[in-house]
């Protein structure tokens, strides 16, 4: 099926108010869509079914939604262009001063908590509303695929839940034929064209915390974990520190066991996990819902391949506006105003496509 035909099918799902997800994996030049044939909200607790899962940050009080393979038409486009040409400049637009003050106050509270308790790291986030005049969010998906070849790009829709679009740099896990791969991705910098990124101790520590958490968690399910050296990962105009991890897993280890170990990592929550989560819930002042949750295809094909991505650099789409979600890791060395600026830079990942589609 060519791309225009796939997009026409998506248009029909929207017209008929039927759920779907369309996604393009990193460095792939085709996209896949699950077109659910009814409007039921299917949920999963076991992650044992083939399908596409869309899970919230807080799995204790909200449920993971699945588009079951057996209830969906699954289609793939033949080829898809990607240009990776940065056609849009970063623009430092005006964000309301009250939003800046509120985020800085939140970050300062986080730093204070870290200095005065056993909390080592907490990821604090905010939302930002941008007024739009979109025909449909498919335009956003398409532009994101053109702009970010190194991201998992998606557009997810359920008439009873909402619409989400994103381009995330972070893989939560990939399981294929008994091999599990994951990554520790954290720390953020921007760089002038061509100049190498210089990492400071703050970023090195916040990323090390993520690696250590994953290594310690996976030690309960494997004894042969291999880990790469830390390296720089580019995500649009941002750079992150990254470590790749890989191990074999016993046949009896199911996907739920692995998700329970890995989600949420300190790349999106903090350390210790429960303490950080409580701080987030009590202080962020909004519900993250699917931001910093995870999404992706489950148990696909003969190899039963599952690939889950962390829902970052994403937005929830409404009739006349979108809501952007951005956050950053706070440690004892954080400077509140720099953390604010980091979230502003992260919003650019989405604002670039909003500008292209002419909002
Ligand atoms: C929580 C986010 O990013 C995470 C992933 C990479 C780098 C991060 C950081 O530098 O703080 C975050 O841990 C976000 O983009 O909203």
Residues 90, 340: Cα–Cα separation, whole Å = 16
CA 126, 119, 342: angle at the middle one, nearest 5? Answer: 30
Higher pLDDT, 288 or 88: 288
Length of the chain (residues): 359
With 80 as the cut, is the pLDDT of residue 92 above it?
no
Buried b (16+ CB within 10 A) or exposed e, 27-66: ebeebbbbbbeeeeebebeebebbbbbbbbbbbeebebbb
Q: Distance, CA 169 to ligand 1 centroid (Å)? A: 10
Show Cβ contacts of residue 194 under 8 Å, excluding neighbours closer than 6 positions.
none
Q: What pLDDT, in 10s, does the model give residues 56-89?
A: 999 999 999 999 999 999 999 877 766 655 555 6
With 70 as the cut, is the pLDDT of residue 252 above it?
yes
32-36 and 72-76 beta bridge pairing: antiparallel
Integer angstrom CA distances of residue 228 from 25, 67, 105? 22, 34, 37
Q: 322 in ligand 1 pocket by Cβ < 6 Å?
A: no
Q: What pLDDT, in 10s, does the model give residues 97-110?
A: 889 999 999 999 99
Report the residue among 106, 122, 123, 207 best suited for mutation to probe ligand 1: largest number of ligand atoms under 8 A from its CB: 123
- Ordered by start, the domain boundaries in the chain are 3-81+96-356
Atom index in ligand 1 nearest the CA of residue 188 equals 10
Q: What pLDDT, in 10s, does the model give residues 4-18?
A: 999 999 999 999 999
CB of 206 closer than 8 Å to CB of 199: no
The pLDDT assigned to 81 comes to 65
With 60 as the cut, is the pLDDT of residue 203 above it?
yes
Q: Minimal CA–CA distance to 210: which of 310, 300, 128, 117?
A: 310
Q: 326 in ligand 1 pocket by Cβ < 6 Å?
A: yes
Q: Minimal CA–CA distance to 121: which of 242, 2, 22, 202?
A: 202
Axis-axis angle for helices 138-147, 336-356 (nearest 10): 110
Prior bond of 228 cis (ω within 30°): no
Report the residue among 127, 152, 235, 327 best suited for mutation to probe ligand 1: largest number of ligand atoms under 8 A from its CB: 327
Q: Distance, CA 78 to ligand 1 centroid (Å)? A: 33
**Fold adopted by 3-81+96-356:** Anthranilate synthase (3.60.120)
Q: 188 in ligand 1 pocket by Cβ < 6 Å?
A: yes
In this structure, of 34-38, 80-84, 126-130, the range with the lowest mean pLDDT score is 80-84
Q: Distance, CA 346 to ligand 1 centroid (Å)? A: 9
CB of 172 closer than 8 Å to CB of 182: yes
CB of 246 closer than 8 Å to CB of 225: yes
Higher pLDDT, 27 or 246: 246
Atom index in ligand 1 nearest the CA of residue 203 equals 10
Residues 283, 296: Cα–Cα separation, whole Å = 29
Q: Distance, CA 27 to ligand 1 centroid (Å)? A: 21
Q: Distance, CA 187 to ligand 1 centroid (Å)? A: 7
ipTM at complex level: 0.99
Show Cβ contacts of residue 83 under 8 Å, excluding neighbours closer than 6 positions.
146, 147
Q: 267 in ligand 1 pocket by Cβ < 6 Å?
A: yes
Q: 352 in ligand 1 pocket by Cβ < 6 Å?
A: no
Q: Minimal CA–CA distance to 148: which of 233, 224, 263, 267?
A: 233
Report the residue among 235, 277, 312 best suited for mutation to probe ligand 1: largest number of ligand atoms under 8 A from its CB: 312
Q: Token digits for 108? A: 């300062």
Show Cβ contacts of residue 187 under 8 Å, excluding neighbours closer than 6 positions.
199, 202, 203, 204, 206, 207, 240, 241, 329
Q: Minimal CA–CA distance to 313: which of 211, 210, 204, 237?
A: 237
The pLDDT assigned to 84 comes to 55
Q: What pLDDT, in 10s, does the model give residues 138-197?
A: 999 999 999 999 999 999 999 999 999 999 999 999 999 999 999 999 999 998 777 889
Report the residue among 152, 183, 326, 329 best suited for mutation to probe ligand 1: largest number of ligand atoms under 8 A from its CB: 329
Average pLDDT, the chain: 94
Percent of the chain residues past pLDDT 90, beyond the cut: 86
């Amino acid at each position: 099926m060519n791309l225009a035909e796939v997009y026409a099918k998506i248009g029909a799902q929207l017209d008929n108010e039927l759920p779907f997800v369309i996604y393009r994996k990193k460095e792939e030049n085709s996209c896949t869509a699950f077109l659910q044939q009814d409007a039921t909200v299917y949920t999963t607790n076991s992650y044992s079914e083939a399908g596409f899962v869309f899970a919230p940050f807080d799995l204790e009080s909200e449920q993971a939604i699945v588009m079951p393979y057996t209830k969906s038409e699954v289609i793939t486009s033949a080829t898809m262009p990607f240009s990776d040409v940065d056609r849009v400049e970063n623009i430092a637009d005006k964000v309301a001063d009250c939003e800046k003050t509120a985020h800085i106050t939140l970050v300062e509270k986080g730093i204070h908590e870290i200095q005065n308790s056993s909390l080592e790291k907490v990821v604090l986030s905010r939302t930002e509303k941008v007024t739009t005049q979109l025909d449909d969010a498919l335009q956003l998906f398409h532009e994101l695929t053109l702009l970010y070849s190194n991201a998992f790009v998606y557009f997810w829709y359920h008439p009873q839940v909402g619409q989400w679009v994103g381009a995330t740099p972070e893989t939560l896990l990939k399981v294929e034929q008994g091999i599990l791969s994951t990554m520790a991705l954290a720390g953020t910098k921007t760089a002038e064209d061509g100049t190498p990124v210089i990492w400071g101790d703050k970023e090195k520590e916040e990323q090390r915390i993520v690696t250590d958490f994953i290594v310690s968690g996976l030690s309960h399910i494997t004894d042969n974990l291999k880990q790469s050296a830390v390296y720089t990962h580019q995500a649009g105009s941002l750079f992150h520190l990254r470590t790749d991890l890989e191990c074999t897993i016993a046949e009896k280890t199911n996907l739920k066991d692995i998700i329970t170990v890995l989600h949420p990592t300190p790349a999106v929550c903090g350390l210790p996990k429960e303490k950080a989560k409580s701080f987030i819930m009590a202080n962020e002042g909004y519900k993250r819902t699917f931001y910093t949750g995870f999404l992706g295809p489950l148990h696909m094909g003969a190899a039963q391949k599952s690939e889950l991505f962390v829902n970052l650099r994403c937005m929830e789409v409404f009739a006349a506006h979108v809501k952007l979600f951005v956050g950053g890791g706070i440690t004892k060395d954080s400077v509140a105003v720099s953390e604010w600026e980091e979230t502003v830079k992260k919003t650019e990942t989405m604002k670039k496509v909003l500008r292209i589609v002419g909002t």
